[in-house]
Amino acid sequence: MPKNLLEQLRTYTVVVADTGDIEAIGKFRPQDSTTNPSLIAAAAQMPQYQPIVDGVLLGARKELGGNATDAAVANLAFQRLAIEFGKQILAIVPGRVSTEVDARLSYDTKATIAQARSIIGQYDAAGIGRDRVLIKIASTWEGICAAEVLEREGIHCNLTLLFGLHQAIAAADAGATLISPFVGRILDWYKKDTGKSYEDAQDPGVQSVTRIYNYFKKFGYKTVVMGASFRNIGEIRELAGCDLLTISPQLLTELESTEGELPRKLDPEVSQSLRIERIVMDKEVFEFLHDGDRMATDKLKEGIEGFSAALVKLETLLAKRLAELEMVPAGH
């Protein structure tokens, strides 16, 4: 009996669920799971997760005291909520969960390090080992510098919002455990910029991840590549063999219901045979390459702004819910 595409993909690649929906994670049984502020905000509005949200909000209120503003309580609750969802997810997946540092700290190395330590401390307190948690940090130069410090402390990092080879090399040089290049968002930019459509191996997002994968394998980096942000299963098919791929429940469903051959496209042995020039990376080179890459510049800025806006929206929702909870008389 022919295997579906999802079953075949699992033979080459670690499949990760890109969602905050715990029920969807239970359905697809991924090795790992990753979330972001937008996904947490979506999950927090689902009725089945209201008890988790309410418990976190009331806990944050108790921790900060009655004089704290609803906004301050909501900000703390967001951090706690991301970890609470992470704990729930880790009860299902055998591998790791990625929990994101506040995107508004993306250009502040010290603040990123401090929040990452706080996040990992809360997982430590819950008895969850550091081998099961990745701290997601935006791939700014400041974020990458924070990851270098954290990795030396045994805090593993996932460098996200990654759009260019320069970001990937800097992250790998810093010793990041994992990077998340955003396939679909790269495609979005090129379609808008050129007015063209791209398919299969011509997809600029696919080409970017292929280039990064080959570079890492050619030069023996331990940092692994997790393709993210897919628009269709064609992109996933072209990246079969990538170390990891994080995929939405919608596309996991499509892969599971599609039969046919899924040949391996990325292979470390092939990467070794390629002629690739090594790039020596430092801040000056990083900034020069980043400034010269309109797509990476636009998408990194847009991604940070988008995740920051999602955080503001989530905190507003949490503050509103907190006000509702505190209006309910005790004992009701």
Q: What is the pLDDT of residues 157-188, one digit of tens each?
A: 999 999 999 999 999 999 999 999 999 999 99
pLDDT confidence bin for 78, thresholds 50/70/90:
confident
pLDDT digits (tens, 9 = 90+) for 9-26: 999 999 999 988 999 999
pLDDT confidence bin for 37, thresholds 50/70/90:
confident
Distances (CA, A) of 150 to 32, 79, 109: 21, 18, 11
> To which CATH superfamily is domain 5-33+95-307 assigned?
Aldolase class I (3.20.20.70)
pLDDT confidence bin for 41, thresholds 50/70/90:
confident
| Residue 165 amino acid letter | L
pLDDT confidence bin for 332, thresholds 50/70/90:
low
- Which pLDDT value is given to residue 327? 83
Which residues, including other chains, have CB under 8 Å from residue 115's CB and lie 6 or more apart? Answer: 79, 101, 102, 105
pLDDT digits (tens, 9 = 90+) for 210-267: 999 999 999 999 999 999 999 999 999 999 999 999 999 999 999 999 999 999 999 9
Residue 39 has pLDDT above 90, yes or no: no
pLDDT digits (tens, 9 = 90+) for 143-163: 999 999 999 999 999 999 999
Catalytic residue, candidates 136, 217, 265, 299: 136
What percent of the chain is modeled with pLDDT above 70? 98
Q: Is 184 exposed, middle or buried (0-12, 13-18, 19+ CB in 10 A)?
A: middle
* β-bridge partners, 247: 17
Token look-up 């937008």 returns: 38
The values of phi and psi at residue 52, to 5°, are -65, -45
User: Does the global pTM surpass 0.85?
Assistant: yes
299 is catalytic: no
d(CA 109, CA 12) in angstroms, rounded, equals 35
